[in-house]
Amino acid sequence: MHLAYPAVLAVLLFCVGLYGVLARRNAILVLMSVELMLNAVNLNLVAFDVWLRDALHAGQALTLFTIAIAAAEIGIGLAIVLMVYRNRGTSDVDRLRDTAEGHGPDDGDHDAPEEAAAPAHTTEAAA
């Protein structure tokens, strides 16, 4: 197989994931796009490993490790997203503007219903 096929596919997947990271508003959608990028990298690794016929199969080993780390990362990431959602009432990346000039936490971030947050707290506590 021409090496270009998996390589180009990996590139295209990567760029699609890149678009998603930069364009999506919901934090979970961003995490999904990050998964796409990681998968593109994995495909590249596997393709080159097979092409090179590496005795150590470093590419495949790294792919396995990447998959494991991606799983760990998505766990932590989701925990963070959930905490942000609990504190701010929203998981929109747009609203997380603490590093902006002249902004503090929760400046103008109270569009998302705080009343929704309160029942969310009680449901969380109940759950």
Partner 1 sequence: MTLGPPVTLAATAPQGFLSPTGVEIAFLLVGMATLGAAVITVTTKQLVHAALWLVVALGGLAVEYLLLTAEFIAWVQVLIYVGSVVVLLLFGLMLTKAPIGRSPDADSGNRWVALAVAIASAGALVWVVVDAFRTQWIDLDGAAQGSTEVTGTILFRHWVLPFEALSVLLLAALVGAIVLSRKNGDAETAEAAGTPTSATDKEQR
Partner 2 sequence: MTTTTLAVLVPLLPFLGAVAGLLLGRKAPGFVRPLAILPTLTALGLAVVVALRQGGDRAIDAATELTPTGSVPIELALHLDGFAVLTAVLVGVVASCVQIYSTAYLRDDPRYPSYAALVSLFTSAMLLVVFSGDLMVLLVGWEIMGICSYFLVGHYWETPEARAASLKAFLVTKLGDVPFLIGLFALAADAGSFRITTILDKVAAGGLDHPTLIALLLLAGVAGKSAQFPLHTWLPDAMAGPTPVSALIHAATMVAAGVYFVARLLPVFAASAAALIVLAVMAAVTMAGSALAALAQDDIKRVLAYSTIGQLGYMTGALAVGDRGAGVFHLLSHGAFKALLFLAAGVIIHAAGTNSLAAMSRMGNLRDRVPDAFWTMSVALLALAAIPPFSGFFSKEAVLGAAEHTATGHSELAPATAGWIVLVAGLVTALLTAAYATRLWLLAFRGSGPAAPDHGRQPLAMTSVLWVLAIPSLTAGLSFGVLPDWFDGHDLTPTLTTSVLATGLALVGVIVTYGAWRHSSAMAARAPLAVDGREPLGAVAAHPEEGPAATEAEAITAHTPVYGSIAEAPDSADPGRLLLGPLHHAAANGFHLDALYTALFVRPTQAAARLVRFLDREVVDTYVRGAGNTANLLGTLVRRAQTGNVQTYLSALLAGSVVLAVAAVLVAAGA
Contact mark string toward partner 2, 67..106, x via CB under 8 A: --------------------------xx-xxxxxx-x---
Helix (H) or strand (E) holding 71: helix 58-88
Indicate the residue type of 10. Answer: A
> Least distance from C-beta 97 to partner 1, angstroms?
12
**Interacting partner of 36 out of partner 1, partner 2, none (Cβ under 5 to 8 A depending on kind):** partner 1
**First and final CA of the chain: distance in angstroms?**
52
CB of 121 to partner 2, least distance (A): 26
Q: Which is nearer to partner 2, 23 or 71 (CB)?
A: 23
Tokens of 81: 């997203």
Query: Which of 106, 120 has the CB closer to partner 1?
Result: 120
CB of 94 to partner 2, least distance (A): 6
Q: Which of 92, 82, 93 minimizes the C-alpha distance to 112?
A: 92
Q: How far apart are CA 106 and CA 84, in angstroms?
A: 11
CB-based contacts of 121-126 (< 8 A; 24+ apart in sequence): 121/86, 124/86
105 contacts which partner out of partner 2, partner 1, none, CB within 5 to 8 A by kind? Answer: none
Applying CB under 8 A, which residues contact partner 2? 18, 21-23, 30, 93-94, 96-101, 103
